[in-house]
Amino acid sequence: MSKKVAMAGMFTALAMILSYVEVLIPISLGVPGMKLGLANLVVVVALYTMGAPMAFAVSMIRILLVSVTFGSLAAMLYSLAGGILSFCGMMLLKKIPNFSMVGVSVAGGILHNIGQLAVAMAVVENIHLISYLPPLLVAGTVTGMLIGIVSNQVVPRIKHVIK
């Protein structure tokens, strides 16, 4: 158990580093706050190597620590909404036989964006923000595919270390 806790700590630290690196990469695709979702790589890898409870802990602790360290309370609200919706979707889809890691990751990217958009629409009370949905769906799909492809390469290489 202590090995799993140590690995979860390392995964959380790596996810925080990737979140910080992401802040340094300016992306302007017409949607405010759009990011690559690099920390989701760590969550996907944790989900497939450590199981849902530990992966969820990594995701939530990362969101809380990054928001407190680099962000704000508002950023935490958006990240929690996206992170929880994304994680629940990925956890459910992972249980479907023959559903690929790439597919799980794509769903996670899309659901994260939908969760954040839903919170934004509620906070600013503006239904017109839904117009951001198409580019967010494309971004979630593309980044989810890339993260899924990388996860497919990482998981087999580290799975034996964690067990």
34 pLDDT higher than 80? no
Is residue 102 within 8 A of residue 149, CB to CB? The reply is yes
pLDDT tens-digit series, residues 79-103: 999 999 999 999 999 999 999 999 9
Query: What's the whole-number average pLDDT of the chain?
Result: 92
- pLDDT (mean) for 153-161: 90
115 pLDDT higher than 80? yes
pLDDT tens-digit series, residues 9-31: 999 999 999 998 988 877 766 66
* Residues whose CB falls within 8 Å of the CB of residue 125, separated by 6 or more in sequence, listed in order: none
74 pLDDT higher than 80? yes
Is residue 10 within 8 A of residue 120, CB to CB? The reply is no
**So where are the chain's domains?**
2-162
The CATH code of the domain at 2-162 is 1.10.1760.20
What pTM was computed for the model?
A: 0.92
